[in-house]
Amino acid sequence: MQLSETLANLWKSLYPQKNTILLQSFLEEIEITKQEIQFPSHNPEWYKDAVVYSLYVDLFNTDFDGLKEKLNYLQNLGVNCLWLLPILDSPMKDAGFDIRDYQQIRTELLGLPKTSTKEEQRKIFRNFLQEAHKRGIKVIFDIAINHTSEEHAWFKESRKSEDNPYRDYYIWSKNTTLYKDARIIFYGLCESNWQKDGDWYFFHRFFEFQPDLNFKNPQVLIEMTRNFLFWMKEGVDGFRADAIPYLWKEDETTCENLPQTHTVVKFFRAVLDYIRPNTLLLAEACQKPKEVVKYFGNGDECNAGYHFPLMPQMFKAIAAQNSEPITKTLSPDVTPNIPETVQWFTFLRCHDELSLELVYVSEEDRKYIHNNYCLKPEWDFRLGQGISARLSELMQRNPKKIALAYSIMLTLPGTPIIYYGDEYGKVNDESYYKEMIKHTGKDDTRFLVRGKIDWDNLKTELSNPESFHSKVYGNIKLMVTTRNRYKCFGRGNIEWVDVDDGKGNKHKEVLAFTRYFQDEKLLIINNLSDKETSLNIKQFEFPDVDVLGQKLAFTEKSELLLKEYDYYWISI
């Protein structure tokens, strides 16, 4: 089916009462853009072989020139894809997710004055992309498509009058009982989804300075697609579609995961694939897997999506010293099969809190994880629905527990994400948190998990093999670089392995499985316990060392011996 036919069908589904003149004009624009694109198609499913590193440019190393200086550091770590957290122009009240201009990068990230020309700005970003691509590193970034900043030109026009052409870019009403079934996402931080503005109210799902866009207006769909096209021409390899489940609103619904939202996503994907095939569209859908998989469609929506429920269950498994939370979550009953071409993205920590939303965890699990990991009152987020703490803090700065958590994430199915600083055990940044409260006026404890990297101090720490940061870094770098040698982790199947003590007693505290793809087969064993244990695994022949270079130890009965929080990656 040709693009014009595909888009026309999607258009009619969304806007049956609208004519297609606007769409026809946009199709001509798409053709012009395709002719202007100077980049070849991406390799199919390249994201399955990626190790993603997520960072804020300014907090990582000041600006894009600073980031360019650290590309060798990232390459040496084993990273081959960068996820740039919000870089677009913003008042920065929500860490850049409040976008003021979709086609401009914040000038401070470019090391330029606000008076610089757009061409000067683009040159710096293009140079950065070229340097990353020379090293085989892809670059994707966040684009918030559900809402804008209240300082966006569209919204500033929208609030001027009821008959302003941009009024319908947003959702205005005097009736605040509309969409009453839509939950308040920032529970405890916002009292309502409606914000009073003069005699009217505008609708928002996030902070009150982030008005929601109205995708019932076809012009909004065109404009947002146009923003994707703009950055594809610059050479960006993909996009993280922020807050994707909330795009379409209908009264008397939860305003989440509506059929029209999927139609909008299909529209985006069709255009992206036409312009530059295999450009990544990554779904940020904070939902149960059975809902997230719908954003893959039949391989015609997002290429990948975050496995949000797996993240808290990895923490539960370690706290409970029991593998079942992980095996149950990845069972077909919880995580449905997905199309062959798409991929889950996995993570331990990210720029947000350790989320315990009841959307995808039970009340029992929420309470258990919160009780075990919210070790300080100030880490609490959204009244018990999350924990604002870095991985090193959650693991009580224990290098072995941090390494165990990474061993689990790096070997389970999916594409792993490393959150900047976690590779060396960066801790919570209380001074940055206090600074951002003053700047934003919001006591948002997620700022604890952000903060700047002190590169001079880090260099000193990493040069000392006995330091905490050096131990964490050494463990994670070894695992990441080893992982890159095997296709089975990003593309292969998984088969759980039951282990016992030789007397028929199952070791629930051991998470064991094989990963296999073509001629590769690895046995992964993780001891979730803080105690030594031995395993009776007679079905495999073991080498002397695993692929990480660790020497395997055995008991007198030839049982595999694991000390507390030990892990092995064994080629079989």
Residues forming the active site: 242, 284
- Identify the three-state secondary structure at position 9: helix
32 φ, ψ to 5°? -65, -45
Count of alpha carbons within 13 Å of 181, Cβ hemisphere only? 8
523 φ, ψ to 5°? -100, 125
- Identify the three-state secondary structure at position 189: coil
Task: Give the pair of three-digit tokens for residue 547.
Answer: 């692929």
Distance CA(291)–CA(29), nearest Å, equals: 33
Burial status of residue 384 (CB atoms within 10 A of its CB: 0-12, 13-18, 19 or more) = middle
DSSP code, position 1: -
DSSP code, position 295: G
321 φ, ψ to 5°? 55, 50
Distance CA(413)–CA(526), nearest Å, equals: 15
User: Cα(first)–Cα(last) distance of the chain, in Å?
Assistant: 46
Task: Give the pair of three-digit tokens for residue 107.
Answer: 């000038």
Distance CA(148)–CA(355), nearest Å, equals: 23
Order of all β-strands in the sheet with 520-527: 493-496, 510-517, 520-527, 567-571
| DSSP bridge pairs for 520 | 517
213 φ, ψ to 5°? -75, 155
Length of the chain in terms of residues written: 572
Distance CA(527)–CA(531), nearest Å, equals: 9
Task: Give the pair of three-digit tokens for residue 78.
Answer: 């084993």
Distance CA(269)–CA(172), nearest Å, equals: 29
